[in-house]
Structure 1
Amino acid sequence: MTHETGVAIVTGSGQGIGQGIALRLAEDGLDIALFDLPSNKEKLDRVAEEISKKGRKVICLFGDVSNEEDVSNLVEKTVNELGSLDVMVANAGIVFHSLVTETNVSDWDTLFSVNVRGTMLCYKHAGIQMITQGKGGRIIGAASVASKIGQPYASAYVASKFAIRGLTQSAAMELGKYGITVNAYAPGPIDTEFLGKFDEFHTSLSGQSKGSFLEGLKTKNCTKSIGEPKDVANLVSFLASKSSEFITGQSIVVDGGAVFD
């Protein structure tokens, strides 16, 4: 794979999959703009320190992806401080669990504002910047295996990830003529704090011991294992590279072989 020297933004990069992606793209030779909530400053600073050790430029920016001004400022500050925007990774997302019959509208709206509006705003402002630059680019979003098949107790999360698939396809159709590809990664179970929330909910529901839900997930894929952030980062590395120039509008599953397209 070949990567141009360039600049990537990774939202939600203080931990988990976002952190793994940021570190991998730095290893690939890109300078990185990290973005997360102000409450994750210590985590973001630690990621920035690791990236600096790899010899890449890095900046830490803070805000809320659901706020358009924050996302617009993110892109503007990245370009001003690092010189361009070549890869946008709209990774930030949240989850809550509830039966659809018990779902609180406020919780639903909050989740959609982060997962869907936040991703749209990243696509929008990255697209504007990349069109202005006139040299193409890579826009990459966070879908999920939940964007391919429904899950009980997660209707809001599932619906938001289905929305990201549709958004990704439409944006790919609109931006392709500018040399901009738009794709999404669709992880299955990845060993992160985020996955721990699923285990905590389902084990409390079943009365089983902590960790038993995760162990059960291992029986449902071909590799009989839980993935790691690097498994998703490897895919994003490819999607961010010049080698992926003929791939766009896709939401690609990374789950050890449980959900098949």
Structure 2
Amino acid sequence: MSSLHGKVALVTGAGRGIGRGIALRLARDGADVALVDVDAEPVNAVADEVAEIGSKATTFVADVSEREQVFAAVDHAAAALDGFDIMVNNAGVALVGPIADVTPAEIRRVWSINVDGVLWGIQAAVAKFAELGNNRSGKISRIINASSIAGHDGFAMLGVYSASKFAVRALTQAAAKEHAADGVTVNAYCPGVVGTDMWVEIDKRFAELTGAAEGETYEKFVGGIALGRAETPDDVAGFVSYLAGPDAAYMTGQAGLIDGGLVYR
């Protein structure tokens, strides 16, 4: 039997990149998956992939910066898939630029998605776990948040993004302490340089700001990885699946680095 057989997971930002990789891995490990994204088209395509694996999927369009939309997504997941066990707060955006140039609008956008979105996901998940009586029935309840290597090191030209990911670590630790007695574990995953569209945009922005050739910044970061290659969404998804499963039952409040050997703690 697969490690997540019979479990219901929700993944935000599931239409592409790391979120898609996580959703497909959880499905391969037996979970039914609610796919949430701000755009309908990509999550519908991922739902078809989940169905090919043999798990159930449902989709929901939501902006994670809006609290009521996150709660509605969780309500939909629980109703459509008959339960709720795992919340993966994956959705996020990057911002590249010097701290001196950050505008109020830019910081509001990053914070509302990367931090507020995680907070609303935590709130919605713990409320649904309680409503369903997961703790009383002995079911696993997992909250898994997207931090980053930038949540352990503040990177130049990524100051606001780094701050948002440090904040995710703080929310993860506090929520783990507050909800341990409810049978809920709360952990975070901290990827490094992943070959996704986000890193394409980060590289382009570095090129604009520094004069580096396109691809140069990406290759520079990849060159510092001990394992000698860029990360893939599947690399991240394997760790998230572990956090979602029974073998991680005694782990909470942690923000694990999964970066191939780039940042060490």
- TM-score w.r.t. length of structure 2: 0.95
- Taking the aligned partners of 2:198 and 2:128, their CA distance within structure 1 comes to 31
**Correspondence for 1:88:** 87
Where 2:11 maps in the other structure, the secondary structure is strand
Flag structure 1 segments of 5+ consecutive residues without an equivalent: none
Inter-partner Cα distance in structure 2 for 1:68 and 1:208: 39
Q: Matches of 2:110 and 2:14 in 1, distance apart?
A: 18
Equivalent residue for 1:230, pick from 234, 247, 258: 234
Query: For residue 4 of structure 2, what is the aligned residue in structure 1?
Result: 3
- Once the two structures are TM-superposed, the CA of residue 5 in structure 1 deviates from its matched residue by 1.3
Runs of 4+ in 1 over 3 A off after TM superposition: none
Which residue does 1:120 correspond to in 2?
119
Report the Cα offset of residue 4 of structure 1.
4.2
Q: In structure 2, how many angstroms separate the alpha carbons of the residues matched to 1:208 and 1:95?
A: 19
Q: Percent identity?
A: 37
Residue 137 of structure 2 corresponds to: none
Once residues 61 and 110 of structure 1 are traced to their aligned partners in structure 2, the CA distance between those partners, rounded to angstroms, is: 21
- Are 2:253 and 1:253 aligned? no
Range with bigger deviation, 152-161 or 163-172: 152-161
Match of 2:224 in 1: 220
Amino acid across the alignment from 2:48? E
Q: What's the C-alpha RMSD, in Å, of the aligned pairs?
A: 1.1
Output the amino acid matched with 1:2.
Answer: S
Whether contact under 8 Å (1:171, 1:182) holds in the other structure is yes
- 1:202 pairs with 2:206: yes
Amino acid of the structure 2 residue aligned with 1:225: R
> Which of 158, 168, 171 is the equivalent residue of 1:167?
171
Task: Give how far 1:56 is off.
Answer: 1.1
Aligned to 2:108: 109
Deviations 1:48-104 (A, max 9, x none): 100011111111100111111101111111111111110000000111222111110
Distance 1:206 1:69 in 2: 40
1-structure distance, mates of 2:190, 2:220: 20
Cα distance, 1:131 vs structure 2: 2.1
Aligned residue identity for 1:236: V
Alignment of 1:59-70 (within 5 A): 59-70=58-69
Counterpart of 1:203, as a letter, is: A
Q: Is the 8 A contact 2:23 2:35 kept in 1?
A: yes
Letter in 1 for 2:194: I
- Corresponding residue SS for 2:231: coil
Q: Secondary structure of the residue that 1:101 maps to in structure 2? A: helix
Gaps of 5+ in 2: 135-139
